Amino acid sequence: MKRLLVSMDEERYEDLRRLAFDKKASMADLVRHAIEKVFEDQLDAIRIKRGLEEHAKDPSGTISIEELMEQMGIEVRSRGRSKRSARSEKVAS
């Protein structure tokens, strides 16, 4: 884990210290939580972009959705027939 030094005025520091005490959490935990909440969407986008870049460099560790579903025992219905046409065939029989 990397460290980050954050500077703030004494009043803000004391307020954060008191909040951490009241919530029975560390000041660092409160700061991490605030960063995740405020920048959640942007951080997710960065993680996704990094994952796509890593995949583009070396796709050997990935499998297709079809392979995953087969491994998990999930059956995929054919896209050629809709639920409506399947019901129509049952009614006609």
Residue 4 domain-assigned (yes or no)? no
* Residue whose structure tokens are 């959490």: 25
Residue 63 domain-assigned (yes or no)? yes
Residue 3 domain-assigned (yes or no)? no
Helix axes 10-23, 27-38, angle to 10 degrees: 100
- The answer for residues whose C-beta is within 8 angstroms of residue 20's C-beta and 6 or more apart is 26, 27, 29, 30
Q: Quote the DSSP letter at residue 76.
A: -
Per-10-residue mean pLDDT of the chain, 93 residues long, equals 95 98 97 96 96 90 88 81 59 57
Q: Quote the DSSP letter at residue 81.
A: S
Contact (Cβ atoms closer than 8 angstroms) between residue 76 and residue 66: yes
The whole-model pTM stands at 0.59
Residue 5 domain-assigned (yes or no)? no
pLDDT of residue 76: 76
Domain around 67 = 10-92
pLDDT of residue 5: 95
Residue 72 domain-assigned (yes or no)? yes
Number of domains in the chain: 1
